[in-house]
A = this chain, B = another copy of it.
Amino acid sequence: MGVFSTSLRTHTCGELRAKNEGERVTLTGWVHSHRDHGGVIFIDLRDRFGITQIVFEPAHNQELHKEAEKIRREWVIQVEGVVRKRTPGMENPKIPTGEIEILADKLTILNKSKTPPFEIEDREKLTEETRFRYRYLDLRRPSMFKKLYFRHKAAQVVRNFLSENGFVEVETPMLVKSTPEGARDFIVPSRLHPGKFYALPQSPQLYKQILMVAGIDRYFQLARCLRDEDLRADRQPEHTQIDFEMSYVEEKDIHNLVENLMKKLFKELLGIDLETPFPRLTYKDAMLYYGSDKPDLRFDLKIVDVTDIVKDSEFSVFKSVVEKGGVVRCIAPKGEFSRKDLDDYIAFAQKNGAKGMAWMRYTEKGLESNIVKYFPEEIQQKLIERVKPEVGSVLMFIADKEKLTAEVIGKLRLKVAEDKGYIPDDPNLFKFVWIVDFPLFEWDEEKRKWEPAHHMFTMPKKEFIGKLKDDPGSVICSQFDLVLNGVELGSGSIRINDPKIQEEVMEVVGFPKEVAYERFGFLLKAFEYGAPPHGGMGLGFDRLVALMQGENDIREVIAFPKTSSGVSLIDDSPSEVTTEQLEELHIKIVKPK
């Protein structure tokens, strides 16, 4: 008997073949379709494993045939009968069970079903509302099961890989201390401690660092993380990350481990051999060449800085930007760009914050456009040498402050690539890149203060430790991001394991020692008792699994997702609770004005 045989079935609907001819079997499943051909009833019986054709012949069993007439779509039935080969010519080569059918001689209706609101077929186009509300029917569709099953397999590969590499799975608490930094905490009122609250973990960050102090050496968890963020299309209030931490490592040890993990995952699940090591780009180069810290390397179209060349032109727009310390950068995509296309890109650049976009066509005759006249021949020559445009391409320029220019031209690069089909239509094309050498701090113009660029527990690179106080903006740290096809999969770093450095960093971002101790004291205190050097990562598991399957929306790989306003349509949560519940928790609702 196979693994799936139970008291109610001998086989699944996906396993019988011609070699089983003559066997007496019992199958269970949903009635996928129900057809009457010349008095003979054919039922396609479906479960997660496949579809098997069941035949009710009046000549074989008159009474049973009558019973079978009553059956409707999505009823749950149990059928006993004998496997036989289909009549020659009636085989269905599209399904693995297509050579056989079951001649039924016993039928039990296990459950009835209302007529479902849609057919259980992948081809059905459904609204999000319908899919989420009837998730139990949506998930019956083979493509949806396939995605969840893929996720399941990925989880086992990840855990087994990490276990084989000496990592210990440790469950960190779900009820933790609220230490607001980064996103908002979800909080949980305590009944036993009036006026106090637990928080749900945004990530196990502090706990996994404590585990390193505790000598676990290597920790992992497929960790549930909850963040009360303003939701966007592809955000969920809860997500899962491959969370790990290692002691006595440097950045390259973590890179190496993650590369091997990805190799294993892509080989086992997709049969793809990834090339390692993955390329590395500094944050600075990523911003310069791709205008993004999560560059999509499936296509080239690098950004070129031409500030030093165009500053000597007579084009006042560029000249004045350069005079104010700004930059001028350019991409030179090839393709047919109509005047309207270019106007659209100008509008796109403006929508994203630039003042405009200048352009020049490069033809066999040289550069052409109504601004070319401001560029002396020599400057034009230098531009061509620097940008190396192909004949037939258009040079598109953005000129502004460095940060804005980088961002706008980065977006323009993606937009042009999308419009012109630069991204190869190959579901097996996976371009990983490590982004390294991030700055430790970011200047917050509004708050007029330094903020951690990533988080406060990242170790500055050794040579910058002396500069924390005097020149925070120059400090490069050991943070690194893993990017796949232009999507950030996760961040990692070597952590600060020295309470002195930790305090200095907290001071720069405006946590005086007392406040730091009140919020993170438990970590700082642990650090006083011999914290080993350590580092780790959190990799977005939902996103990884979605990308591997060619999906952009993580909700395709989450069984019960929430809508973009944080509502679960399957159970209508959040919902009202009773007054007794609130009283026990010592809280009261304050209706917004």
* CB neighbours of A114 from chain B (8 A): 528-529
A67 within 8 A of B: no
Is B528 a contact partner of A113 (Cβ separation < 8 A)? yes
A24-67 contact mask (Cβ, 8 Å, vs B): 1 or 0: 00001010000000000000000111000000000000000000
A588 within 8 A of B: yes
Is B572 a contact partner of A522 (Cβ separation < 8 A)? yes
Known: A114-B528, A590-B587. A581 touches B178 (CB 8 A): yes
* CB neighbours of A126 from chain B (8 A): none
A411 within 8 A of B: no
Residue of B200, B253, B531, B573 near A111 (CB, 8 A) is B531
* CB neighbours of A392 from chain B (8 A): none
Interface residues of A (CB under 8 A from B): 3-4, 6-9, 28, 30, 47-49, 74-76, 78, 110-114, 116, 134-140, 145, 148-149, 151-152, 155-156, 159-160, 163-166, 168-178, 180, 184-200, 206-207, 210-211, 213-217, 224, 226, 228, 231, 237-238, 240, 246-250, 252-253, 497-498, 522, 526, 528-533, 558-560, 562, 565-568, 570-578, 581, 583-592
Q: How many copies does the complex hold?
A: 2
Minimum Cβ distance to chain B for residue A517 (Å): 11
Given A111-B497, A197-B576, 7 more pairs with CB closer than 8 A: A28-B532, A110-B533, A111-B498, A111-B531, A111-B532, A137-B529, A192-B566
Is B532 a contact partner of A110 (Cβ separation < 8 A)? yes
Known: A588-B587, A591-B586. A530 touches B111 (CB 8 A): yes
26 contacts between A and B (CB under 8 A): A6-B253, A9-B248, A110-B497, A135-B214, A148-B168, A156-B160, A156-B163, A172-B560, A173-B560, A174-B224, A175-B237, A175-B568, A177-B571, A177-B574, A180-B581, A184-B581, A184-B584, A187-B581, A190-B574, A192-B231, A195-B589, A196-B575, A206-B571, A207-B559, A210-B560, A583-B590
- A49–B168 Cα distance when bound, in Å, is 13
Is B558 a contact partner of A139 (Cβ separation < 8 A)? no
* CB neighbours of A497 from chain B (8 A): 110-111
